Amino acid sequence: MVHYAPYLALPKHLINIRITEIINKFDKKIKPMDPLVIWTNVYLNPSEVALLQSETKHHQLILADAGPHVLAQNSGDPRLSSADVVFGQPNPEDLLTSHALRWTHVSSAGYTRYDSPSFWQHFCSRGIIFTNSSAVFSEPCAEHALAALLAHTRQLYPSYLDQLQRREWQQNAIRAASSLLSEQTIVIVGFGTIGQRLAEFLKPFGSATFACRRRPEPYPGVKVLSLDELPNVLPVADHVLNFLPENTGTIRFFDQARFSRFKRGACYYSLGRGTTTDQPALIEALTSSRLAAAYLDVTEPEPLPPDHPLWSTTNCYITPHSSGGHYNEALRLTKHFLNNLRRFENGEPLINRIV
């Protein structure tokens, strides 16, 4: 916990400050229960492996080969068939053929590779629990979205381009292109945990904030609409943020027809899945100046090939699907899993349960 240790050096009266920890402390002792077989292929550093081992010492832990990054899918492991609990990115086929399985906890927010009726039917009919790690990624994703919004209003990219190239100190031009997020209108499309966290960040700005989702529910400070009502708000939005998951209803959701409803000079942000954007239509909307800029953290395909036209489209700014990332994500993933493991042991409701 590199961020907290230095406090020990502080004078005592400075220590009493509030630090929000998203991940709950798991100070409960493990109750006696039959040992579980826990299989994981999450990419972990030695310190997280040690934490996992220490916190699962009453169980049997199988450390399978991890892929090249935390979200890499396992290519198949016969040992998974004996596991009660699976934590990571297991091969979906392995899950379907396992007979011992009681709970799968994926180390990602998205779960497209498991999202099929036959998969859910298998889990439901056998009472297998499926949880994801959206609590771990919603915070960085929402922070990333606000970073992109403010990078636009404060014109950080054009300033940096001038620093790299001509160093003209374009004070007048940059100031004239800057704006106040607090005066603007924001539309969040796909209003789950990430969008809701973004709405919390936006509250002190006082920005006019709309959200569109399949099943609208009231949310403080946000006007929540159905996806059908999106065309009514697109013409007034300064910023439209796409957090849609990938499913049959969202493939190429932002297409030529929807971009044509945007206010001229609006900005588009895509942080959910690359497939939900019709990329040729986006390129057209940018080159025709319908959109002032686009900020993409997801593309189709990923990685985006170096010669793909999106890279060089005017005012299209790309991050490499990094919005959920953070240097300590393996630690936070591990803590999130262990928090749920304590709940599983105690028969309590699990966090981020999908089925």
Closest approach of its own copies to the CB of residue 96, in Å: 29
Residue 173: CB atoms within 10 A of its CB come to: 14
Query: Which H or E run contains 211?
Result: strand 208-213
Choose one: 77-85, 106-114, 231-239, 247-255; the region binding its own copies (CB under 8 A): 231-239
283 binds its own copies (CB under 8 A): no
Q: Of 102, 122, 223, 261, which lies in the binding site for its own copies, with binding defined by CB under 8 A?
A: 223
Q: How far is the CB of 110 from its own copies (least distance, A)?
A: 14
Decide if residue 46 touches its own copies (CB under 8 A).
Answer: no
Q: Are strands 85-88 and 316-318 parallel, antiparallel or unpaired?
A: unpaired
Nearer to its own copies, 37 or 233 (CB): 233
H and E: helices and strands count for the chain: 13, 12
Spacing of C-alpha 213 from chain mean position: 17
Determine if 18 is a binding residue for its own copies (CB under 8 A). Answer: yes
Rg (CA), the chain: 23
Using the rule CB under 8 A, give the single segment among 46-54, 114-122, 242-250, 318-326 that binds its own copies: 318-326
For residue 288, state whether it binds its own copies (rule: CB under 8 A): no
Does the footprint of its own copies cover residue 17 (CB under 8 A)?
A: yes
Residue from 96, 302, 309, 346 touching its own copies (CB under 8 A): that is: 302
Are 21 and 44 spatial neighbours (Cβ–Cβ below 8 Å)?
no
| Cα three-residue angle 325-328-330, rounded to 5 degrees | 85
Is residue 261 close enough to count as binding its own copies by CB under 8 A?
Answer: no
CB of 90 to its own copies, least distance (A): 21
Pairing of strands 185-189, 103-106: unpaired
Dihedral sign computed on CA atoms, order 246, 248, 250, 253? positive
Strand arrangement of the beta sheet that strand 129-131 belongs to: 60-63, 37-40, 85-88, 103-106, 129-131
CA-to-CA distance for 3 and 93, rounded, in angstroms? 40
Task: Give the contact letters, 171-190, x = binds to its own copies (CB under 8 A), - = no.
Answer: xx-xxxxxxxxxxxx-----
In the complex, the smallest distance separating the C-beta of residue 192 from its own copies, rounded to whole angstroms, is 17
> By rule CB under 8 A, what count of residues binds its own copies?
91
Q: Does 170 bind its own copies (CB under 8 A)?
A: yes
Instruction: Dihedral sign for Cα 26, 88, 72, 270, please.
Output: negative
> Is the preceding omega at residue 218 within 30 degrees of 0, hence cis?
no
How far is residue 144's CA from residue 157's CA, in Å, rounded to a whole number? 15
Q: Which residues pair with 317 in a beta bridge?
A: 295
Rule CB under 8 A: say whether 154 interacts with its own copies.
yes
DSSP SS3 for 345 = helix
Among positions 65-84, residues that touch its own copies (CB under 8 A) are 68-69
**In the complex, what is the shortest distance from the CB of residue 305 to its own copies, in angstroms, rounded to a whole number?**
8
Angle at the Cα of 59 (from 53 to 63), degrees rounded to 5? 50
Nearer to its own copies, 119 or 205 (CB): 205
| Only segment of 81-89, 111-119, 271-279, 320-328 that touches its own copies (CB under 8 A) | 320-328
**Residue from 50, 124, 161, 257 that binds its own copies (CB under 8 A)?**
161
- The residue within the footprint of its own copies, chosen from 53, 289, 322, 346 (CB under 8 A), is 322
Q: Is 255 in the site for its own copies (CB under 8 A)?
A: no
Nearer to its own copies, 59 or 239 (CB): 239
